[in-house]
Amino acid sequence: MLDVSAFQDALGIMFTSAGSWGWIVPGLIVGLIFSAIPGISITMAMAIVLPMSLYMDFFSAIVFLTSVYTGAGFGGSVPAILMNIPGSPSSFATTFDGYAMSKKGQHNEALGYALFASTICGILGYVLLLLVVEPMANIVLRIGPVEMFAVAIWGMLLLGSLGSKYLTRGLLAASFGILLGTVGMNTAGFVRGTMGLPVLLDGIAPIPAMIGLLAAGQLLTLAGKDYILDAESSREVSVRKILIGCWGTLKYPGVLIRGSIIGIIIGAVPGVGSSIGNLIAYAETKRTAKDSATFGKGNPKGVIAAESAVASAEGGSMATMLALGIPGGGATAILIAAFMMHNIVPGPNFIETQKPMVYAIILNNIVQAIVLLVVGIGFIYVASNIVRVRTRYILPAILVIATLGTYAVTGETAGPITLFVFALLGFALVRYEYPISAVVVGILLGRMLETEFLRSYQLSGGNPLFILQRPAAMAIVAVMLLSLLMTAWGKRKQARAEAAEEAAIARLHQEEMAGGHKV
C-alpha cells in the first residue's frame, strides 16, 4: 500500500521541480492535436517528440511525455463524436453514441461527457495506481495465455451488442472480421491469406483498415449534405453546453466506476490496450442499462462508458511499466525508451530504490488529468467549429489526412492501399446493411483470439481441464457466464414487460371501440 514517507518525499520532488510543470500544457496540446488526426496513433505522437526529451532533465522529460500520453487518450474522441471517424482505435466505441448525439445537435454535450469522463476516470486510475503499484506487479505476472484467451472470448461476445437488425448479417460480418484478423503468419508458422504478398505476413494493418471501413460509410453520408449537421441551429458551438455535458457526467457514477475498473484491469495486461477495454466497458454498460434499447441512438452513458475505460487504462498500463518494466502498449514502450535515455530502468528495482520518484510521476499524472479539463474545453471549442464548415471542404481534407496518417502508420504505400481497399469494402457493407462495427471488432480480436488459443493449447498439452489450475481464467469465465445469464434474464424480463404493455394498449383500444359503439 501507500508508503507515507516516500509520498512526502514525492511531494518535495513535485515542488522543487515546479519548472517541470510548464511542460504539461504543451504536452497535452501535442497529444490532443495528434490523436485527433485519423491514423496518427498515441505511439506515433510520442515517438515524434521523444528526441526533445533528451535535452531535458529526467523528471521534466517524463512530465512532457506523459502529458502527451494523457492528451492523446482524449483527443481521438473529438473526430469520433463530430464525424464518426475515431482518431485512434481506442475511440472506436465512442462513435456508437457520440456521433448519434451529434446528429441530434448535441455535439457540445457529447464532447463534454467525453472530456469529463476522461478527466474523472484518469484521476481515479492514477489514484488507484498510487495505492497498488507494487501488488499489481504480482497480479499481472499471473496473467497468462489462458486468461488472455478468456478475455478474447469475452470480447467476441460483445458482437451481440454490436449487431445489426439482421442477426445473420451481424454474425456473418463478425466471422468475416475474424477471418481478416487471422491473415498472415501465426505463431505456429502457418501462412494464410497473404496471396503471396510479403507485406501481409504480419497481418492486415488494423488502423488503416479501421479508418477505411468507418470513413467510407461516413463520407458517403456526408457527400449528400452541405454541412455535417443539417439544421443551422444545431451548429452552435457553446462552452455553456460543453460544461452542461461535463456536469451531467456526474449523474452516472456507476458507469464511471465500472468503466474505470474494466479499463484499469485491461490496460494493465501487456499487449491488449484500451481499444479492447473501451469495447468491453461499452458492452457491459449497455447490458446492465434499463434503457439498453437507446444505446447507439445517442445515449450519454455509451460515451461515458467508452471514455472512462480509455482514460483509466492509462493508469493500468503505467502500473505494468513502472512495476515490471514491461510496456502495456506502444505508448509505454516509448516511455521506457525515455527512461533508458536517462540511464534509468523501470521495474521492481526502480520502485524499490526510487519510490519517491515513482510517486512523483504518478502525482504529476493526476495533475495532468486535472489540467486536461481546462485545456480540453479550449480544444473542443476550436475543434467543434468543423460543424460550421461546408462538407465540400471537409471531405477532401479528411481523405488527404487519413491517407497521410495511414502512410505514417505503416511507413510504406501498403497503408494507403489498405485504406482504399477497406473503404470500398466499407461502402459495400453500408450499401447492403452489414454492421461495420462487427467487422472492426473481428479484425481487432481475430489475431489475439488465435494466438492466445495456440499458446494455451501448447501450455496445456491439449488438456481442457488445465483451466482448473488457472483460478484467474476460471474467474474470468465465471464473470463471462454470469454476464450472459444476466443478459438473457434481462432480455426475457424486457420482452415480458413489452408484451404486457402491448396487451394493455390493445385492451384499452378495445374498450374505447366498445364505448364508441354504445354511443
State the maximum Cα–Cα separation within the chain, in Å, rounded to a whole number.
93
Residue with cell 460543453: 242
Mean pLDDT computed over 351-368:
85
Mean pLDDT computed over 142-169:
68
Beta carbons of 242 and 288 less than 8 angstroms apart: no
Residue 16 pLDDT level (bands cut at 50, 70, 90):
confident
DSSP character for 191?
Answer: E
Of 404, 155, 112, 406, which is closest to residue 273 (Cα–Cα)? 155
The CA angle 348-353-357, to the nearest 5 degrees, is 95
Residues across the chain: 519
Of 73, 122, 110, 479, which is closest to residue 288 (Cα–Cα)? 479
Strand extents, DSSP E, 14-131? none
Q: Mapped to the 3 state alphabet, what secondary structure does 25-55 carry?
A: HHHHHHHHHHHCCCCCCHHHHHHHHHHHHCC
User: According to DSSP H, which parts of 411-470 are helical?
Assistant: 414-431, 436-460
Residue 40 pLDDT level (bands cut at 50, 70, 90):
low
Which carries the bigger pLDDT value, residue 44 or residue 432? Answer: 432
> Does residue 203 sit in helix, strand or coil?
coil
Mean pLDDT computed over 477-505:
71
> Does residue 447 sit in helix, strand or coil?
helix
Of 203, 180, 186, which is closest to residue 453 (Cα–Cα)? 186
For residue range 288-310, list pLDDT tens digits in order.
787 877 888 889 999 999 898 88
Compute the chain's Rg from CA coordinates.
24
Beta carbons of 398 and 184 less than 8 angstroms apart: no
C-alpha cell at 473: 481464467
pTM: 0.75
192, β-bridge pairs? 184
Domain chopping of the chain, boundaries? 25-468, 470-519
The CA angle 189-195-197, to the nearest 5 degrees, is 80
How far is the C-alpha of 463 from the C-alpha of 458, rounded, in Å? Answer: 10
Residue 306 neighbours by CB distance under 10 Å: 34
How far is the C-alpha of 304 from the C-alpha of 113, rounded, in Å? Answer: 6
Cβ contacts of 142 within 8 Å, gap of 6 or more: 472
Beta carbons of 242 and 82 less than 8 angstroms apart: no
What pLDDT does 95 receive? 85
Cβ contacts of 272 within 8 Å, gap of 6 or more: 148, 151, 266, 328, 329, 448
How far is the C-alpha of 120 from the C-alpha of 258, rounded, in Å? Answer: 13
C-alpha cell at 113: 461527457
Written as one string, the DSSP assignment of 330-359 is HHHHHHHHHHHHTT---SHHHHHH-HHHHH
Mean pLDDT computed over 78-92:
80
Maximum mean pLDDT: which of 225-229, 317-321, 387-391, 416-420: 416-420
C-alpha cell at 344: 534509468
How far is the C-alpha of 166 from the C-alpha of 432, rounded, in Å? Answer: 11
For residue range 314-340, list pLDDT tens digits in order.
777 787 788 777 766 667 778 888 888
Average pLDDT, the chain: 79
Of 111-120, 141-150, 227-236, 282-291, give the lowest mean pLDDT range: 227-236
Asked if the model's pLDDT at residue 142 lies above 80, the reply is: no
How far is the C-alpha of 292 from the C-alpha of 299, rounded, in Å? Answer: 9
Written as one string, the DSSP assignment of 422-435 is HHHHHHHHHHTT--
Of 31-40, 177-186, 290-299, give the lowest mean pLDDT range: 31-40
Query: Chain-centre distance of CA 513, in angstroms?
Result: 53
The shares of helix, strand and coil residues in the chain, as percent rounded to the nearest 5, are 80, 0, 20
The CA angle 498-503-506, to the nearest 5 degrees, is 125
Cβ contacts of 411 within 8 Å, gap of 6 or more: none
By DSSP bridging, strand 184-185 and strand 191-192 are antiparallel
Of 78, 67, 72, 87, which is closest to residue 409 (Cα–Cα)? 87
> Does residue 185 sit in helix, strand or coil?
strand
Which carries the bigger pLDDT value, residue 489 or residue 103? Answer: 103
- Helices 24-35 and 42-53: crossing angle in degrees, nearest 10, is 150
Which carries the bigger pLDDT value, residue 336 or residue 40? Answer: 336
C-alpha cell at 262: 474494466
